[in-house]
Amino acid sequence: MGEENTGITAKAVTPCGINHLVLNVRDIEESHRFWTEIVGLKQVGVLLASRDRPTPPKMRFYSADHDGRLAHHDIALVENPNLPAPEEWSPREGRVAINHVALTMPDREAWLKQLAFLQSRGIRFNWRVNHGVTHSVYINDPNGYGVEFLYEMPRAMWEDDINAALNWIEVLPTEGEESLADRTDTPSFGRRERVPAPAE
């Protein structure tokens, strides 16, 4: 029986992206403050009781800014008071199931403003790093999940050798003015000619 007759494909259909992420949190009020006041997401919904769901979990929904529009949600939080107390975040040795959530800033300028804002609020930078595909800072939420703020380097700088770009790394200071500096001479990968980085 041919594939065209059954409607069954020979391989999985590749999704076009990740739609949303749901995080278990110990205290939904504490996490709400983090994801709205520190990360800057907007709460767009809360799970309500209904006939079919008379006692729903404590759950809230949050959206990023999608060119001036809101999503139904990018992140959701579900309160689970039985979660263990958070540990120090580590890219290699953490015990939470989700290592980190990466959030794209609109551009380099917005990213630099967010770094300065985080530092002004006393938020600890766990890791400040330039990757070949992004420039990033990693912090953590109250439950031990890592949160990465990044801006992407131009596609032309990395698309010809994604693996090489993913493996390139420059670790930077996590405190003081040095942690807010951002070089724009990241190398290009897989091309002989140099591709201009974002403007200073």
* pLDDT class of 84 with cuts at 50, 70, 90: confident
For the chain, percent of residues with pLDDT exceeding 90: 76
* pLDDT class of 197 with cuts at 50, 70, 90: low
* pLDDT class of 87 with cuts at 50, 70, 90: confident
What is the DSSP secondary-structure string of 112-143? Answer: HHHHHHHHHTT---SEEEEESSEEEEEEE-TT
pLDDT tens digit string along 133-155? 999 999 999 999 999 999 999 99
CA 166 to chain centre: 16
What's the whole-model pTM score? 0.88
| Tokens of residue 11, six digits | 């391989």
* Residue in this structure with the two tokens 């070949």, named with its chain if needed: 132
Please report the pLDDT score of residue 4 as a whole number. Answer: 56
- The domains of the chain, with CATH numbers, are 18-83 (3.10.180.10), 84-200 (3.10.180)
* pLDDT class of 1 with cuts at 50, 70, 90: very low
- pLDDT at residue 19 is higher than 90: yes
Average pLDDT (119-146) is: 95
